[in-house]
Amino acid sequence: MYKSNFKLIFSAIILLMITACDSMLEEKNYGNPTVEDMVKQEKNVSLLVGQAYADVKWLHDHWGYWGVNALVSDECVCPVRNPGKHWSDGGYWSNLNTHNWDAFGDAFKNIWNTTISGAVLCNKVLKTLDTNKATMSEAVYNQYVSELEVLRTYYYFNLFDCFGRVPYLEEFKEEAVPLSEPNVVWSKLVNSLEKNASNLPVVNDANRAGNYGRVTQGFAYALLARLYLNAESYGCTPQNVQVTGINNVTDFYTKAAASCQKVITSGSYSIEQDFFKNFAIENQDSKENIFVIVEDGNADFDKRSSGTMENKLRMIMLTLHYSQQTTYNLIEKPWNGFAARPKFIQRYAETDVRGPGNEGMGTKNTKRWGWFVGKVYGEDGSTQLIDDNNSPVEIVPEITSLTNATWNDGARLFKYEIDKQKKYAYAENDFVLFRYADVLYMNEEAILRGGSGTSVINTTNFQRIRKRAFAYDTDGGASKIYTSLTLDELANERGREFAWENIRRRDLIRFGKFNDPNYIDYVSATENFRKWFPIPFSVIEKSPRDSQGKPLWTQNVGY
């Protein structure tokens, strides 16, 4: 139901965008409604605001934000596979894995373009609402302005998280602005969320469907907690930020915990008994997922920018072995690319359902696991498949070499449910961006780092995270719950729990492990400046100029 409502909204957006085209305002009206007429009804305002979500779908592509954040982290690797030099691409993927990227990477350009595009569209719709403010009730106007400003904050957050120095704007205008420094951007993002979060709807069972895939109060406070928790990793100090109530370093963590508590005490979310419900093909019923990218597995895709960037969830195709098309009766042949780095897989206990498991039967496994290793059998389950190299297909967690891996090397992500019925051309699973489990873990980490707050470690929801991870144990995981935590264990646990969920890179930076080759396989470039990505060369090359002819946008230090 949630997903069908969301799809209906976006179908209506197309009509709205046509009828609300700015050029119409310069023509005589022959019966089509004007923007002023349309925004008199709240449902139309909702549709108008809904169009600003279009660019969120670019965040989960391997040629965009998700791809680079996963590949530079300990959770993901894309080796060159021989014979055939599959995934060589001039060393592009390997350079991300080793941290030897440069300013010419396609993904950096894609991130810059798509996040700014989303932020600009938010500003444009905000201008439309402001122009037509008199036709709306104050409550409707305030709610949707807050929704747009929080969504704009999220677009800028993703841009900021990558590059630090960004051209931040809170109004729609053609004029280019200089790059703001990281502490300035961080302050503006935080202040926007502090201002708007309470105006957004609190999710409950009655309104959950209507708010599915849209920013809510729970989302705003979860994002705010993420910003406070990572403040120091962004170079923020009590002296260089402009946020009320930050007088010393521990205030960052106290405010992070307080933001988490806003989500926790709302009663909007709960930890699912089954870890995999959050990643099912029909995962819209999860009460743990706070914000997702709503997928339509049978809609046409769009391509944007360089590479082969698409607005479809293609994670399953990225990771499965070519031969698993036969095993699972898939429409499209998988691409045999992304896998787990060996050290990362070693951090899972053998009975942790989020890991590769201990059954050892490959595709004959009887239980559900978060990663796949083992022999690959045909659809009937009786014959081990032979690949195009005339080699038996058996996925192993080891990787022979980053530049000379076999087709079988590396554990494959399995937590997103696979469509084995050929119902969808693309993944129908909604991609998870924020989960309640993250809020609970952030709350505990903020306290461990010195913040004041209310611990949730003894609550049913918190303990359920670990219990379900060991649900196959004879005691149902009861012996695996945490009664206390250390930062080192939390760093490992967050990796296990949130693998490939778009947050690992920033976690590693915060825990001081991002440029540590002892923690992350294959890392060879360890300079601190790499905690920020380079501003794309194409952006620097076309930088606007100031009145003196000097470029407004300059490259990040070190590149």
Structural tokens at position 443: 């709350």
DSSP H helices, 76-176, are 92-98, 106-131, 138-163
Q: Which of 415, 529, 512 is nearest to 468 (CA)?
A: 415
Question: Can you give the pTM of this predicted structure?
Answer: 0.94
Average pLDDT, the chain: 93
pLDDT attached to residue 425? 85
**104: phi then psi, degrees, rounded to nearest 5:** -100, 5
Given a cut of 60, is residue 7 above it in pLDDT? no
Pick the range with the lowest mean pLDDT from 21-30, 318-327, 395-404.
Answer: 21-30
**289: phi then psi, degrees, rounded to nearest 5:** -75, 125
Q: From CA 102, how far away is CA 92, in angstroms rounded?
A: 10
Cα-atom radius of gyration of the chain, to the nearest Å? 24
Cα dihedral value 294, 295, 296, 298, nearest 10: 180
Residues 324-382 have pLDDT tens digits of 999 999 999 999 999 999 999 999 999 999 999 999 999 999 999 999 999 999 999 99
Domains delineated in the chain: 40-180+492-559 (1.25.40.390), 311-348+355-412 (no CATH)
Residues 6+ apart with CB under 8 A from 477: 466, 467, 468, 469, 470, 471
Q: From CA 339, how far away is CA 329, in angstroms rounded?
A: 21
Residues 499-529 have pLDDT tens digits of 999 999 999 999 999 999 999 999 999 999 9
pLDDT attached to residue 347? 98
pLDDT attached to residue 32? 64
Q: Are 350 and 469 in contact (CB under 8 A)?
A: no
Q: Are 53 and 114 in contact (CB under 8 A)?
A: no
Tell me the average pLDDT across 97-110.
95
Distances (CA, A) of 11 to 50, 227, 354, 485, 493: 10, 33, 36, 47, 40
Residues 164-217 have pLDDT tens digits of 999 999 999 888 899 999 999 999 999 999 999 999 999 999 999 999 999 999
Q: What's at 541, amino acid-wise?
A: E
pLDDT attached to residue 309? 81
Q: Which residue has the higher pLDDT, 306 or 512?
A: 512
One-character DSSP codes across 199-232: GSPPP-TTTTTTTTTS--HHHHHHHHHHHHHTTG
pLDDT attached to residue 300? 77
**125: phi then psi, degrees, rounded to nearest 5:** -70, -35
